[in-house]
Amino acid sequence: MARKVSAQRAEEKTSAFATAKKNIVIQYGSNERSTEDLLQLIRKDALEKGVQDADFAEIDVYVKPEEHKVFYVVNKTVNGSIDF
């Protein structure tokens, strides 16, 4: 059973879907942002807060378009937000 699960996980990580180029756009009202754009803005904001470029290990992102904000947490320690 363990072998089957391991093989299944390996297939999921190398499947065509996992490696396909993705373009995700979030729209709210007349505003539109791509995830790439949001991640670049988050990176810039986190760097201004003292996070070193080499220190990015995990980024949690919470999009709240009704508040026109995107909240983020870097490495479970640095919190911030950017405008949507």
Q: Would the pTM of this model clear 0.85, i.e. be above it?
A: no
CB 26, CB 61: distance < 8 Å = no
pLDDT tens string 36-80:
999 999 999 999 999 999 999 999 999 998 999 999 999 999 999
pLDDT tens string 5-46:
666 666 666 788 888 999 999 999 999 999 999 999 999 999
Question: Looking at residue 55, what DSSP letter applies?
Answer: G
Phi/psi of residue 76, nearest 5 degrees? 60, 15
